[in-house]
Chains A and B, each alone.
Chain A
Amino acid sequence: MRPFKYTRATSLSSAVKELSGNAQSRILAGGTNLLDLMKEDVERPEELIDITHLPYSSVKSSSQGAAKPGVLLDALGKNAETANHPLIRSQYPMLSQAILAGASAQIRNMATNGGNLLQRTRCPYFYDVAMPCNKRTPGSGCGAMEGFNRMHAVFGWSDKCIAVHPSDMAVALAALDAKVLVQNPSGQQKRLTFDEFFRLPGDAPEKDNNLQHGDLITGIELPASNFADHSYYAKVRDRSSYAFALVSVAAGLQLNGKEIIDVRIAMGGVAHKPWRALTAEKMLKGKEATEANFKAAAKAEMAAAKPHEYNKFKIELGERAIALALTKALNYGS
C-alpha cells in the first residue's frame, strides 16, 4: 500500500471540500473494496477522507410530496442494516434479497450503501497490475477481451472494456427506479436516475459512472413501490454464497388478476452497469403473467446479447434467470 494522508471529515460539506481540493483523494466508507484495491496497488490515492462516523446512516420513509411515501437510504447506512430494515423487507423485498445475496455477512456489516454503488469491477485483469487493463490504465489494452472472460459482459460492452458491474444491490435498485442523491463541490444537490448515474464503458472505461471528482453520494431514494407483493431476486453463481453473480435478475410484477400492469426486470453480471431488460419489460406489459410469456420475453431480451469466448453460457443462463425470477415473483409469498 502506498503512503497516504488520512483525513477525518467533520461534516458532509467538509468532506466534499477536502475531496474536491485533492484530485488524488478518495472517500473512505466501509473500505471493503477501496482498501483491498489499495493493497493490490490498483487504487493509489494520496488521501483518504474518512466519512464513516458522520451521522448519515438511517433508512427512513420519505414522502417527497408524493401520494405514497418512498424510502430514503442514507449513503452510510450499512448493507446489512438496510437489508434487514422492516421498511425494506416489507416494501422492497427484492432489494433486501439482493443485498443479502451479495458478499458475506461480515462484509455486509461493513459495506455502506454509497460504497456499494461505487464498488469497482471484479475483472481479474483489473486487479492484477501486471496485466493490461484500460479501466485501470487507460490505453494499456483490455486483458479480458481475448482472455479469460467467463465473468464478463454480454450487453453494452465496447472494444475498450467488457467488464461487469459487480453489485447485487444496484441491480435491485435499478429495477426499482431508485435515484442517487449527490452533493457536488459547489454545494448543489443532484438527484440522478440510474441511467444518469451509471454508464457503459464506451471509449472511457476508466469511468465507472458519471460522477465528477468531488461529488459525494449522500443517499439513495426509492420511489413508492408497487412491486412489494410480487418481486424476487435470483442470483446464479459458482457457489451458494460469497460469489459474484454469473447472472442475476431482479424482477417485480404489478398485477391486475393475471394481467401484468407493470413489470421491472434488471440484470446483474451482464453489463458495465445494472442492465434494465427493457425489451422483456415492454413485451410483458399488458400480457398475462404466464411462464410461457416470461420465457418468450426472456428469450427476446437475451437475443441481443453478444458474448465472448468463455461466457456464451450467459445467454441461456440469462434466459433461465429472467424466467425464474419472474415466476418466483409471480408466486411470491404463496
Chain B
Amino acid sequence: MEANPITGTPLNRIDGLLKVTGKAAYATDYPVKNLAYGYLFKSTVASGTITQIDDAAAKKAPGVITIITHLNAPKLNVKGGLRGGALLQGPEIKFNGQHIGIVVAETFEQARYAARLIKVQYSNDAQAKTDFEKLAPQAVPAKEPEVRRGDVDSAMAGAAVTVDQVYETPIEHHHPMEPHATIALWEGDKLTLYNSSQIVNGAQTAAAKTLNIAPENVRIISPYIGGGFGSKGGQWANLALAAVAAKMANRPVHLALSRQQMFNSVGLRQHNIQHLKLAATKEGKLLALGHQTTTHTAIDDEYTEPCGDCSKVLYAVPNALINYKVVPMNVIMPTYTRGPGKSTGSFALESAMDELAFKLQMDPIALRLNNEPAQDPTTGKPWSSRKLVECLKEGAKAFGWDKRNPQPGKNIQGDYLVGHGVACGSYPARQRDSSAVIKLTNDNGKVQAVVELAAADLGTGTYTILAQTAADGLGLPVAQVRIKIGDSDLPPAAGSVGSVGATSYANSVNDACSKITTELMMKSGKQFFVRPTAAQLMTSERLNTFETRMDTKPLADADNYSAHSFNANFAEVWVNRFTGMVKVKRFLAVTAAGKIINPKTARSQIIGGNVWGIGMAITEESVIDPRWGNFITRSFADYHVPVNLDVGNLDAIFINEDDKHANKLGVKGIGEVGIVGVAGAIANAIFNATGKRVRELPITPDKLI
C-alpha cells in the first residue's frame, strides 16, 4: 500500500469526461451496421386470451421487415431466468401491458406506426385480479421467511404504551434515465447483446437459457448504464425478444422501451400495506415489535419486498413477529427496487417509532438510543460493526437537533410550518464471488495496468473506485490504470445489485493486486525486507508483460457476523400552511458503511438515494385503474419525480468505521442505504411541522389541508 493512498480520496470520476462529452457508448449507441428497429406492442387487457391478431395493414406499412407474435415466435425457455414472462409463448394474457408482439422495420418510427395498425381481439375469459385494495384481504402467507420470537400480542396487551397503525406505500417505478435498451447481433451461432445490464453474467446466462443456446455463444456488452435501480438487475423479456427479432429479421435489431412502456415491462416496487405494532415501557424500552406486510405479486410468480428487514435489526426488542402476506394479481411482476423493502419498511417502522416517542413524550433520538441492541436481535450474531449510535449523535449535532421544538405545529415561519424529523435505516453488507484479471505492461519503464472483470457501473462510480483500488494495490498512479468492465467475455463478477458491487469488486481487485505482487516477488527469486509494489517489481525485473487472475470469495467466517450499513436521516420540511405543499429544505444523511473508497462518488450515491427518498415521501406514485389493470400514470408528466425546488440542501456525513469482519477491505456498500429511512424522516418532520400524521405515501398537498 502506498504511503498516500488514493483510496479514500474524493477523486473525480475517471469516466466523467467521456460522459459529459457524449463519448461513452450506451447500449444503443453502438454503430452496428444494417440495423433494423423493433417496437413492442402490448396487451390492452389484464387477463384473457388473444383470439385474433389482424396485422394485414401493418405488414403492408412502409419499411416493415417482420412482425413477431406468439403465432410465429420460436419456442423459448420461460424458466430461463428472465423475469416477468411475456416471451410471446402463447395467447394467454397475464397482465395489462404484457408484450404480445414486435414489429421490426427499417426505422423506429415505421415500426411504431405499423404496430399501431395491428388489431388484436381478446376473449376476456377470467376475472382479472387488478384491485389490490379489494384483494388484500385474500392475501396468503408469502415465501419470505417470518421472524417470530416471544409473543407480540401479550406484550402489547400488558404494555404501558403501544402503537398499532397501518402504513401504506404505493406502487413506484424505477425509471432510470436510460430506458431498457438492446442491440442484438447474430454472427452465425454467436449472439452479441449490447444491453444495459446491472448483472453482466446474469444477463448472459438468462439470455442463453431462455434462447436455448450455450452461454459461451452469448456475449453481453454493457460498459455504461444510464441507471437501473434494480430494474436492470434481473433481466426482462425484452432482452430475449431483441435476439428473437434479430434472428427472424435476419438483421441486427435495436429494441428500446419507451418511457410509457417502462411502466409495465420491467417490474415495479409493489404497493405495500404495513401493519406495525410497537409496545414499550413508560421508560421507553421496547417490549414488542410486530410488522406485517401485505402486498401483491405476479399472477404466476412470487416476489415480495422484504419490508420487515429493518425491523429485524434496528432495535433490541424481546418479542417480535415479522411476516408477509401476498396476493397474486394481473399486474406485472414486482422486483428489486432501490433499497428493496428497507426503504418502504423503514418508513413504516420509523413512523411508528416517532409515534411511540411522541406518546412517551420522549425525544425520538433518545428513544432509539434506548433500544440499541448489543448483537443482532434476530440472529443473535455479533455485529461485524455497527455505528448507528454515532450516526444519531453526530447527526444531531451537525443538524442542530437541539433547536427542534418537540411540540408539533409550533414553528411558524411566514407562510410555512417548519418541522424536523429523524429516522434510521440499515442495509445488509454482503460480498459475492468475483474474479478479476490484472494485466501489467512495462513500456520502457512506464508500467501500466489493465484490470478486467465483468462488473457493472450504473453510473455510480465503479470505474473510479476500482481504478483507485488497483492504483494503491499495484503502486501506480491512477492515470496508469485502465478499468475494463461491462463485458461478459471478461472474468465473471458479481452484479451491481443489492449493494454488493463495490464490496465484491474492490475485494477481488485488491486480492488480484496482492496476488500479482506476490507472484512477481516469487518470480524475482529475491528476498525483500519491505514488500515492494508490483510496479516496482515490473521495473526491477525488467518484465514487459505479466498477468494474473484472482477468484475472490467472501471471508470464510463472514457468516458468523451480522453485517449491515446503518444510517440516521434528518429532515427539515417547510409545509405551506395554506396549500399543503411540502418543501424539504434540508436533509442530512449520516452513514456508517465501513470503508469509503471515494467520498465524492459515495456522497453522490447517498444524496441520489435521498432524492429518490424525497420522491417516495412526497411525490411518487403509480396508479392502476382496476377496471383495466393499466397504469393511469404513464409518463413523467404524471409520475412525479421530485424537482430541484422540492429538494433543498442535501448533506452527507460518513462515520469512520473500520470493519474487520464483513470482508477483507471493510467496505460495506452504499448503493441502497441512501434511500433507507428517508421517507420516514420526512414524514416525521411533516408531523412535527403540522401535527398531522400521514401514514399513506406520497404526502401530497391534499393530505395536508
Asked if B630 contacts A130 (CB within 8 A), the reply is yes
Chain B interface size, as a band, is: 35 or more
Residues of B within 8 A of A130 (CB): 44, 628, 630
Which residues 98-148 of A sit at the B interface, judged by CB distance below 8 A?
Answer: 122, 124-125, 127-128, 130-131, 143, 146-148
**Could you tell me the distance in whole angstroms from the C-beta of B680 to the nearest C-beta in chain A?**
20
Contact of B702 among A128, A234, A242, A313 (CB under 8 A): A313
Residues of A within 8 A of B638 (CB): 122, 124
Contact of B646 among A124, A239, A244, A321 (CB under 8 A): A239
Contact of A240 with B by CB under 8 A = yes
Residues of A within 8 A of B116 (CB): 2, 41
Contact of B643 among A124, A127, A242 (CB under 8 A): A242
- Decide yes or no: A317 and B627 within 8 Å by CB, A240-B583, A240-B643, A241-B645 being known contacts: no
Q: Mark B603-637, 1 if CB is under 8 A from A, else 0.
A: 00000000000000011000101011010111101
Residues of A within 8 A of B260 (CB): 40
- Decide yes or no: A128 and B109 within 8 Å by CB, A147-B625, A238-B640, A246-B701 being known contacts: no
Contact of A65 with B by CB under 8 A = no
Asked if B113 contacts A3 (CB within 8 A), the reply is yes
Asked if A320 contacts B643 (CB within 8 A), the reply is no
Residues of B within 8 A of A321 (CB): 578-579
Residues of B within 8 A of A316 (CB): 705
Asked if A317 contacts B701 (CB within 8 A), the reply is yes
Contact of B630 among A1, A131, A236 (CB under 8 A): A131
Asked if B113 contacts A320 (CB within 8 A), the reply is no
Contact of B112 with A by CB under 8 A = yes
Asked if A148 contacts B625 (CB within 8 A), the reply is yes
Interface size for A (C-beta < 8 A) is: 35
**Could you tell me the distance in whole angstroms from the C-beta of B701 to the nearest C-beta in chain A?**
6
Give Cα A241–Cα B635 distance, bound, in whole angstroms.
16
Which residues 41-66 of A sit at the B interface, judged by CB distance below 8 A?
Answer: 41
- Decide yes or no: A148 and B640 within 8 Å by CB, A246-B702, A316-B705 being known contacts: no
Asked if A236 contacts B701 (CB within 8 A), the reply is yes
Residue of A nearest to B701 (CB): A236
Contact of B700 with A by CB under 8 A = yes
Give Cα A2–Cα B543 distance, bound, in whole angstroms.
64
Residues of B within 8 A of A148 (CB): 623, 625, 632
Q: Mark B53-89, 1 if CB is under 8 A from A, else 0.
A: 0000000001000000000000000000000000000
Give Cα A140–Cα B617 distance, bound, in whole angstroms.
37
- Decide yes or no: A143 and B579 within 8 Å by CB, A240-B643, A240-B645 being known contacts: no
Q: Name the residue in A150, A236, A240, A244 with the highest tally of chain B Cβ atoms < 10 Å from its Cβ.
A: A240
Residues of B within 8 A of A320 (CB): 578-579, 705
**Could you tell me the distance in whole angstroms from the C-beta of B58 to the nearest C-beta in chain A?**
13
Residue of A nearest to B641 (CB): A239
Contact of A306 with B by CB under 8 A = no
Asked if A147 contacts B627 (CB within 8 A), the reply is yes
Contact of B642 with A by CB under 8 A = yes
Give Cα A125–Cα B633 distance, bound, in whole angstroms.
10
Which residues 145-160 of A sit at the B interface, judged by CB distance below 8 A?
Answer: 146-148, 150
Asked if B627 contacts A146 (CB within 8 A), the reply is yes
Residues of B within 8 A of A1 (CB): 109, 112-113
Contact of B580 with A by CB under 8 A = yes
Residues of B within 8 A of A147 (CB): 625, 627, 632
Residue of B nearest to A236 (CB): B579
Which residues 223-265 of A sit at the B interface, judged by CB distance below 8 A?
Answer: 234, 236-244, 246
Contact of B135 with A by CB under 8 A = no
Q: Mark B560-600, 1 if CB is under 8 A from A, else 0.
A: 00000000000000000011110100000000000000000
**Could you tell me the distance in whole angstroms from the C-beta of A31 to the nearest C-beta in chain B?**
16
Asked if A239 contacts B579 (CB within 8 A), the reply is no
Contact of A76 with B by CB under 8 A = no
Contact of A238 among B619, B632, B634, B644 (CB under 8 A): B619
Residues of A within 8 A of B646 (CB): 239-240
Residues of A within 8 A of B705 (CB): 313, 316-317, 320
15 A/B residue pairs, CB under 8 Å, sorted by A:
A1-B109, A122-B638, A124-B634, A124-B638, A128-B632, A130-B44, A130-B628, A148-B632, A237-B701, A239-B618, A239-B643, A240-B646, A317-B580, A317-B701, A320-B578
16 extra interface residue pairs, beta carbon distance < 8 Å, beyond A240-B581, A242-B643, A313-B702: A1-B112, A3-B62, A124-B632, A124-B634, A128-B632, A130-B630, A131-B628, A131-B630, A146-B627, A147-B632, A148-B632, A150-B702, A236-B579, A240-B645, A241-B644, A320-B705
